[in-house]
Amino acid sequence: MLIFDSVTKKYGNGTIALDHVDFAIGAGEFVLVSGPSGSGKTTLIKLVIKEIDPTHGKIVVDGDDISKIPSRNLPLLRRKVGVVFQDFKLLPEKTVAENIDVALEILGLEENVILKRRRELLELTGITSKENDFPAQLSGGELQRVALARALAPSPKILFADEPTGNLDPVTAESMIKLLEDIHSQGTTVIMATHDLQYTKHLKARRIVLSQGHLDSDSSHHDKKS
């Protein structure tokens, strides 16, 4: 589902964010990508959605070498990869329902289909009662759930969550992890980038550890869900 083949990313200021990183993630895996701030986690996500390009190496998403994807086909790539960004990237002037609808309208769906899918997403993420609220009226946990609903709108094959428990209280953080587990159990490949592993100790997940741009370790539990 996702292959990094000797991927290096060097920024213009000389910073090497990733240095010859190799890994392959299969369909249906739950993977934790951990490491301290600055270890390359966010760069990895930006590379997968082609927000930035690698300096060297090859990235394959769902069988496609994304370096060969023309810019006009980027929306197709981003339908396959849903991302919950650390800063949410919600539209402040739009309600919860409208933020989700924007992601569905891009797909060119009919109005009745959009309404049905939006209801499913609101129910899945537990924010049905918030659909007419604006982002400024929501708590951190609720904002996280809206961002998650929007990322899931096009039914992506891969869901990337960037620090989904950051700045959340323990109860809210644990409920967010449970929600990601539920999404994974429905067949979505889930990749969670985090530097805080206290809420993930129980997860039957593969763990990829980055350190200063290098792949420090890559372990998997053999008893994970099939």
Domains and CATH numbers, the chain: 2-89+156-219 (3.40.50.300)
CB burial readout 8-26, b (16+ within 10 A) else e: ebeeeeeebbbbebebebe
Looking at the predicted structure, is the pLDDT value of residue 136 above 90? yes
The pLDDT score that the predictor gives to residue 160 is 96
Looking at the predicted structure, is the pLDDT value of residue 133 above 90? yes
CB burial readout 84-94, b (16+ within 10 A) else e: bbbebebeeee
Question: For residue 71, what is the DSSP state?
Answer: G
pLDDT tens column, 183-224: 999 999 999 999 888 888 888 899 999 999 999 988 864 443
Residue 41: CB atoms within 10 Å: 25
pLDDT tens column, 56-91: 999 999 999 999 999 899 888 989 999 999 899 999
d(CA 66, CA 104): 23
Sign of the Cα pseudo-torsion (107, 88, 51, 45, in order): negative
Closest C-alpha among 25, 30, 12, 14 to residue 177: 30
Sign of the Cα pseudo-torsion (10, 49, 218, 87, in order): positive
Rg of the Cα atoms in the chain: 17
pTM of the model: 0.91
Looking at the predicted structure, is the pLDDT value of residue 226 above 50? no
Is 67:53 a contact under the CB 8 Å cutoff? yes
pLDDT tens column, 146-176: 999 999 999 999 999 999 998 889 999 999 9
Confidence tier at 43 by pLDDT (50, 70, 90):
very high
Strand, coil or helix: 127:
coil
